[in-house]
Chain A
Amino acid sequence: MVVGLSAATLQGAPVVTQDVDLWFEDLGELSISRALQEVGAAYVPPSNLNPPMLAGAGAELFDVVLRMDGLGTFAAELKNCVDIPLGRHHLKVLSLERILASKIAANRAKDRLTIPVLRDALAATQSVKRRSKRQ
């Protein structure tokens, strides 16, 4: 599932981000290591000094997220995802409402900067959805 500001930007929020945060239900899943192998990358488990990460040129844009502040379990939040088409695939992307909830719960300095922008983006996207339903 794509989470964080990259998920927000996929849904139209005018925010910038340095990487794409990915939240996995089970990092031990074989399909993950196969996909990483295909792009010459590997999963590096967390250690004392480093958070869990994806290493290798094909994975440099991506970060691994193990838990999300203020949110439910992966399975519960999967219900709050939007499907975004990407070529032959559909990306599971955490909804703007839930991204906002996680930023409010995390409440770090950098989160506090994005909260008003996410709130306004949510208002704008909801208005667009309402308008397209009426038409």
Chain B
Amino acid sequence: MKERAHSANPAQAKRWARRLTLRVKEVLAAHPHADPDNVRHTLILLEQPPLERLQRSLIRGRAAAIFKK
């Protein structure tokens, strides 16, 4: 899925979303008990570079910890 969710072109964004939905369905067909949200978020994250995935996770994790205190 080369066209990203944040594409500036609405037509591209729609194509990307359609492809994403198809991919989610494909995974769910093989793993019917999987949560569609988890699958969708994973597929979206796999489009990001690994370091960006980690950075996002740390920012959210640390922010959540601050709010807990």
Contacts and interface: CB of A to CB of B under 8 A. Distances in A.
Contact of A17 (B43, B45, B58): B58
Contacts of B39: 120-121, 123-124
Contact of B64 (A16, A84, A116, A124): A16
Contact of B46 (A17, A85, A124): A124
A125 B46 contact: yes
Interface string A16-42: 111110000000000000000000000
B45 A14 contact: yes
Given A14-B38, A61-B58, A116-B38, A124 B53 contact: no
Interface string B1-44: 00000000000000000000001001100110011001101110
A121 B23 contact: no
A128 B43 contact: yes
A67 interface: no
B38 A10 contact: no
Interface residues of B, number: 26
Contacts, number: 81
B54 A6 contact: yes
Given A9-B54, A10-B50, A116-B35, A123 B43 contact: no
Contact of B42 (A5, A13, A20): A13
A10 B54 contact: yes
A11 interface: yes
24 contacts: A6-B58, A9-B53, A9-B54, A9-B56, A9-B57, A10-B50, A11-B50, A14-B38, A16-B58, A16-B64, A17-B57, A17-B58, A17-B61, A18-B58, A18-B62, A20-B58, A85-B50, A120-B42, A123-B27, A124-B43, A127-B26, A128-B23, A128-B43, A131-B26
Given A5-B57, A120-B38, 11 more contacts: A10-B53, A12-B46, A14-B38, A16-B57, A20-B54, A120-B39, A121-B39, A124-B39, A124-B46, A125-B42, A125-B46
